[in-house]
Amino acid sequence: LGAKLASPTDPDRRGAHVSVAHPEAWPWCKALVDRRLVVGDFRPPDVIRLGPAPLYTRYVDVFDAVQHMVEALEAGLEDLQDRPRVT
């Protein structure tokens, strides 16, 4: 789907953040946050940075976040951005 790991694989160099690069990172990140699926930060030019808290982030939370990210890319970013937000 065009996404790739952008953070170091060595945990001593990575710290607590995981970065994912994608050519459409900004609309992807915005769609995920707007739909309240995954909260990450956009870092120019093409990175979404995630900061899972190790004290309370479960494996299933990581799995669900990745699944939401994949589904957003598969659905098409324009389609997700045009949907109304849940209020």
Can you give the pLDDT at residue 23?
95
Backbone angles phi, psi at 69, to 5 degrees: -65, -45
With H, G, I as helix, E, B as strand and everything else as coil, classify residue 37: coil
pLDDT at 87 > cutoff 70 = no
pLDDT per residue as tens digits for the range 16-39: 889 999 999 999 999 899 888 899
pLDDT per residue as tens digits for the range 49-74: 999 988 989 999 999 999 999 999 99
Backbone angles phi, psi at 81, to 5 degrees: -70, -30
pLDDT category at 44 given cuts 50, 70, 90 is: very high
Cα separation, 46 vs 74, in Å, equals 18
Nearest to 17 by CA among 45, 53, 42, 44: 53
